[in-house]
Amino acid sequence: MGLVARVGAWFLGIAAVVGQLTLFAGQVARATLRPRLDGLETWHNLYRVGVKSLPIVAVTALFAGAITVVQVGAYVVKLRAYEVVGWGFGFSVFREIGPLLIGLMFSGRVGANNTAELGTMTVTEQVDALRALAIDPIDYLVMPRVFAMLAMMAALTVIGDVAAIVGGVATAYGLIGVDPYVFWNSFTEYVALADFLNGLAKSTVFGLLIGVVSCGFGLNVRGGAPGVGRAVNASVVASAVGIFVVDYFLTWLLQ
């Protein structure tokens, strides 16, 4: 196959995936018009998606906060700008680093797991069995998962923000000797509620994106176990790319 044909085939493949996901997102959007969340499935997914992700998100956020302070530490000492550490830290972590890193971690842990589970259910005909029992897989399997991911991404971001502050304060004190009181004053004085809400809005959209992408790839698996592996891989890549693209536009929109 020539180079042009290969590039063409690659573009056609991407277009097919985007088209498939768009149609799937349309099905999810239609299902939200007749909300029939299964209570047990929703609770089960809230626990699986949220509680089980808590340790990894807390650790990630703790170190993200610490790393942010490490990065700016040398300049803070050089410029003796101790009173702006809290502001710089809060602005970047709340608005950008927190939602982005938690989104990527969430995609890798929850999104991949979700695609694998739904993909396995698809190739073993469990999804067809649900349909044969007159139970809509979108209502029963997808909506509770998407809702749980959306809600828990927001909740985990709040918890992650707190963990990041702890990491940031501890590192600022230990590394560059910034008194926690000075850090906190700078943080509360310059970081506005809008910065926090900006990050929260981004996280919620990332949660929705990861939910739709991971469920879409899972329910469209073809080709047995190798197909499930390919779908998990594609789901994580698509979610990560989607997070960055959506983040770009949201950052621009929410300025």
Partner 1 sequence: MIEFIDVHKAFGDKVVLAGVTLTVEPGSVVFIIGKSGAGKSVLVKHLVGLIRPDGGEIRFEGQAISAFAERDFYPLRKRCAMVFQHSTLFDSMTLLDNVALPLRKHQRLGQAAAREGAMARLAQVRMDHLAQRMPGDIGDGLRKRVAIARALTLDPEYVIFDEPTTGLDPVSARHVDALIRQLSDELGVSSLVVSHDLRSIFGVADRIVMLYQGKVRLDGTPGDFRASVDPVIRQFVRGLAEGPMEL
Contacting residues toward partner 1, per CB under 8 A: 38, 40, 117, 120-121, 124-126, 128-136, 140
DSSP per-residue letters across 85-122: HHHHHHHHIIIIIHHHHHHHHHIIIIIHHHHHHHHHHH
Nearer to partner 1, 34 or 80 (CB): 34
Cα–Cα distances (Å) from 160 to 60, 144, 238, in that order, read 8, 23, 23
Tokens of 60: 């990630």
Cβ-based nearer residue to partner 1, 127 or 164: 127
What is the CB neighbour count within 10 angstroms for residue 51? 12
Nearer to partner 1, 64 or 143 (CB): 143
Query: Toward partner 1, which CB reaches closer, 97 or 127?
Result: 127
Nearer to partner 1, 6 or 131 (CB): 131
Shortest Å distance, C-beta 37 to partner 1:
12
* Distance in angstroms (rounded) separating the CA atoms of residues 216 and 240: 15
Question: Which one-letter amino acid corresponds to residue 154?
Answer: A
In the complex with partner 1, the residue whose CB is nearer, 128 or 189, is: 128
**DSSP-assigned states of every residue in 138-194:** IIIIIHHHHHHHHHHHHHHHHHHHHHHHHHHHHHHHHHH---HHHHHHHHHHH--HH
State the minimum distance, in angstroms, from the CB of residue 176 to partner 1. 49
Shortest separation between residue 122's beta carbon and partner 1, angstroms: 11
CA distances from 92 to 48, 145, 195 (A): 29, 30, 9
The least distance separating partner 1 from the CB of residue 29, rounded to whole angstroms, comes to 16
CB of 220 to partner 1, least distance (A): 15
Angle, CA of 66, 71 and 72, to the nearest 5°: 100
Q: Smallest distance from the beta carbon of 54 to partner 1, in angstroms?
A: 21
